[in-house]
């Protein structure tokens, strides 16, 4: 093999190695981003459940207040 041919192969190999390293970095970046999104989704699901529970509690309390007001209205007249 000539020196020029060997240099060309060496350069091709270095280019390939560089691109593989870039792909490894990109895969790691995407893996980290994916994990962050999964964590965020878990937090949002928990927050949603908590808000739904609070909303249901508020609805129950409001309904109870309405019932008491209607009862008072009936009891004391209009």
DSSP of 22-67: HHHHHHHHHHHHHHHHHHHHHHHHHHHHHHHHHHHHHHHHHHHHHH
∠57-61-64 over CA atoms, to 5°? 140
Give the tens place of pLDDT for each residue, 40-67. 999 999 999 999 999 999 999 999 999 9
This prediction has a pTM of 0.64
Confidence of residue 8 (pLDDT cuts 50, 70, 90): confident
């Amino acid at each position: 093999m000539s020196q020029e041919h060997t240099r060309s192969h060496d350069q091709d190999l270095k280019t390939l190695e560089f691109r593989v390293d870039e792909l490894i970095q990109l895969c790691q970046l995407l893996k980290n981003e994916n994990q962050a999104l999964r964590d965020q989704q878990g937090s949002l699901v928990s927050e949603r459940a908590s808000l739904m529970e609070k909303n249901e509690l508020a609805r129950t309390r409001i309904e109870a207040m309405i019932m008491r007001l209607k009862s008072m209205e009936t009891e004391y007249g209009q």
